[in-house]
A and B are shown apart, each in its own frame.
Chain A
Amino acid sequence: MNIMGTPAIEIEGLTKDFPLGFWRRRQRRSLDNLTLQVAEGEVFGFLGPNGAGKTTTLKLLMGLIFPTAGTARIRGRSIDDIGVHSEIGFLPEQPYFYDYLTARELLDYYARFFGYGATERSERVKRFLELVGLTAAAEVQLRKFSKGMLQRVGIAQAILHDPQVVFLDEPMSGLDPVGRREVRDIILALRQQGRTVFFSTHILTDAEMLCDRVAVLLGGKLQGVGAPGDIVSIKVQGMEVLFEALDGRPLPPKLAERATKTGARYRIELPEAELYAALEMLRASEARILSVQPLRPTLEDYFFGLVDREKGASHAVEVDAR
């Protein structure tokens, strides 16, 4: 798995400027001096709002655009080396494929670039179509595919050659909850096989759930790298209680007032000190207690805090900077 401790992905000072304006004289720096490393076998999340530079980073790594400065290596090889591409898979954001081909034809086409014999090729295509749940639509032309189906084809083509490092740009986008779960399962399966997964997303809950580590990008600059839990403070900010009323029994009015109601369910946030008093009140009115959880700032809070700070607004989330 780990070849002499070489990181799977090594990015050093990667910078990208885009020329602006008709005469191309002004520059827009869409990636500023990015430096980070991803170890073999990690599931690494690359987070940031739209326009932060995530897709730019991926395009640089894939060799679709060229860096203004900096270098990158994948499994010890420079990204200029064409051999790297035999070991990596890539799912672009909002993928578009040759719409005149069917799903099977597309996968077969891409499989040809890896030199498989005809039998192995067709076996692989079949296997990965099944993996992403497209067996039924295998002979349908891609121009008839929905966004979600295209996303699945995209994942299939990214991994059908069993790459060691998989790059996914917004892999959950366009998928319904079932689809998203399937993608999560695929990512977890890849991790199980010892592969490295590098995916960008702006959906923080996914990152929290799947990633060993995350990096946060904003305005082209790296804001922080670390395990999701390290990025935000462990400091508990209070408790959350979920409860509902039992058959016609009235609820303690003080609590019911402060709570937010969704259907039959109530949710209230309390400072830790008030917890037991509230629970006692609920117990007395024989309300049904659904859950009691500590409130921790999530990645989302951290995130919005960053964005707000960018915008100059004040906030109260603490950040354990690394």
Chain B
Amino acid sequence: MSAARISIPGVVAVNAYREAIRDRVLYNLIFFALMMFGAAILVGQISIGIERLVIVNLGLSAISLIGLIMAIFIGVGLVYKEIEKRTLYSLLAKPVRRWEFLVGKYAGLLLTLAVNTALMALGLAAALYYVSRHFERSDFSILVAIYFILLELALVTALALFFSCFSSPILSTLFTLAIYITGTFAQDIREFGEVTKNPVLLGMTRALYYLLPNFHNFNGIAAAAYGDKIPAALIVQNTLYALLYVSVVLLGASAVFSGRNLK
């Protein structure tokens, strides 16, 4: 047996990616392409003067929403399916640590999402070109917005994976969605606490604010639509935030999964 250094998570990741592709998840791109195509053609008739704005808004919103659906629906089955179908039995008999398996599945789905997002970005670029016939320097902020969407998806995928380690797909979907929605409202929750003068509520809401993933950090759609320059510092901070948060969630998942008796 050779002593080559191999990345176990990497091996698992590539296979997870292959599974997603063969599951035909990329067909969602057809829907996206049709939608952007239709929008590009019709937008001139419906919204005079703001064609570019509408295309960017629509495209980014769709990229975000489709990505979210994929992240959640595939994510909640990542571990659950393998436990239910017992494919894990033969896999874990190999020299694969449980956390390596988790990280690999996570990376595989993230890779799938990244590829999907990149292809959608191309579709958006095509629609944008069709509508405004040129690209501007400020269009770079669209790329940043897409990157932020990917960071967001990385967070949601981690959460879905975490729940997948111990609960059924339906419950996991609900939990993940609940966290996503409350995470979007994180600022409102905090403001609510500040408005009430109740110190207990204030403490709770503030704690919640820092505990919940603050998805509003990653919303660059309006900025991209108007071509605002997104500061580099924000890009760095968001990347760090996502990295740290994902690490915490994956650590939690590893802890839960490592002690789990499989059926």
Partners in one complex: yes
Listed in ascending order, the chain A residues whose CB lies under 8 Å from chain B are 59, 62-66, 82-83, 85-86, 88-92, 95-98, 100-101, 109-110, 112-117, 120, 154, 157-158, 161-162, 167
Q: CB distance A113 to B95 under 8 Å?
A: yes
Q: CB distance B93 to A97 under 8 Å?
A: no
Q: CB distance B19 to A112 under 8 Å?
A: no
Chain B min CB distance to A160 (Å)? 11
Q: CB distance B4 to A98 under 8 Å?
A: no
| Contact-residue size bin, chain B (C-beta under 8 Å from the other chain) | 20 to 34
Collect the chain A residues with CB atoms within 8 Å of residue B89's CB: 59, 62, 64, 90, 92, 95
Roughly how many angstroms separate A92 CA and B85 CA in the complex, as a whole number? Answer: 12
Residue B97 at the A interface, CB < 8 A? yes
- Knowing A114-B1, A115-B3 touch, does A62 contact B92 (C-beta < 8 A)? yes
Q: CB distance B19 to A100 under 8 Å?
A: yes
Collect the chain B residues with CB atoms within 8 Å of residue A92's CB: 86, 89-90, 93
**13 pairs, CB–CB < 8 Å, chain A vs chain B:** A59-B89, A62-B89, A64-B92, A64-B261, A82-B96, A90-B89, A90-B93, A96-B86, A100-B19, A110-B94, A113-B8, A157-B90, A167-B93
Roughly how many angstroms separate A158 CA and B87 CA in the complex, as a whole number? Answer: 13
Q: CB distance A115 to B4 under 8 Å?
A: yes
Q: CB distance B15 to A109 under 8 Å?
A: yes
Collect the chain A residues with CB atoms within 8 Å of residue B8's CB: 113
* Chain B, 20-55, CB within 8 A of any chain A CB: 22-23
Total residue contacts A-B, CB cutoff 8 A: 88
Collect the chain B residues with CB atoms within 8 Å of residue A95's CB: 86, 89-90
Chain A min CB distance to B186 (Å)? 35
Q: CB distance A83 to B90 under 8 Å?
A: no
Listed in ascending order, the chain B residues whose CB lies under 8 Å from chain A are 1-6, 8, 11, 15, 18-19, 22-23, 85-97, 259, 261-262
- Knowing A59-B262, A115-B1 touch, does A89 contact B93 (C-beta < 8 A)? yes
Q: Which interface residue of A59, A88, A113 has the most chain B CB atoms within 10 A?
A: A113
Q: CB distance A82 to B95 under 8 Å?
A: yes
Collect the chain A residues with CB atoms within 8 Å of residue B85's CB: 96
Partner of B88, one of A64, A82, A85: A64
Q: CB distance A90 to B22 under 8 Å?
A: no
Chain B min CB distance to A161 (Å)? 7
Q: Which interface residue of B1, B85, B86, B94 has the most chain A CB atoms within 10 A?
A: B94
Partner of A85, one of B4, B18, B93: B93
Chain B min CB distance to A168 (Å)? 11
Q: CB distance A66 to B95 under 8 Å?
A: no
Roughly how many angstroms separate A96 CA and B87 CA in the complex, as a whole number? Answer: 6
Collect the chain A residues with CB atoms within 8 Å of residue B262's CB: 59, 64-65
Considering the complex, give the chain B residue whose CB is closest to the CB of A67: B261
Roughly how many angstroms separate A162 CA and B262 CA in the complex, as a whole number? Answer: 26
Chain B min CB distance to A249 (Å)? 59
Collect the chain A residues with CB atoms within 8 Å of residue B1's CB: 86, 114-116, 161-162
Roughly how many angstroms separate A32 CA and B254 CA in the complex, as a whole number? Answer: 29
Partner of A113, one of B19, B22, B96, B259: B96
Collect the chain A residues with CB atoms within 8 Å of residue B4's CB: 115-117
Roughly how many angstroms separate A83 CA and B6 CA in the complex, as a whole number? Answer: 15
Considering the complex, give the chain A residue whose CB is closest to the CB of B23: A100
Roughly how many angstroms separate A171 CA and B104 CA in the complex, as a whole number? Answer: 30
Q: Which interface residue of A85, A158, A162, A167 has the most chain B CB atoms within 10 A?
A: A85
Collect the chain B residues with CB atoms within 8 Å of residue A97's CB: 87, 90
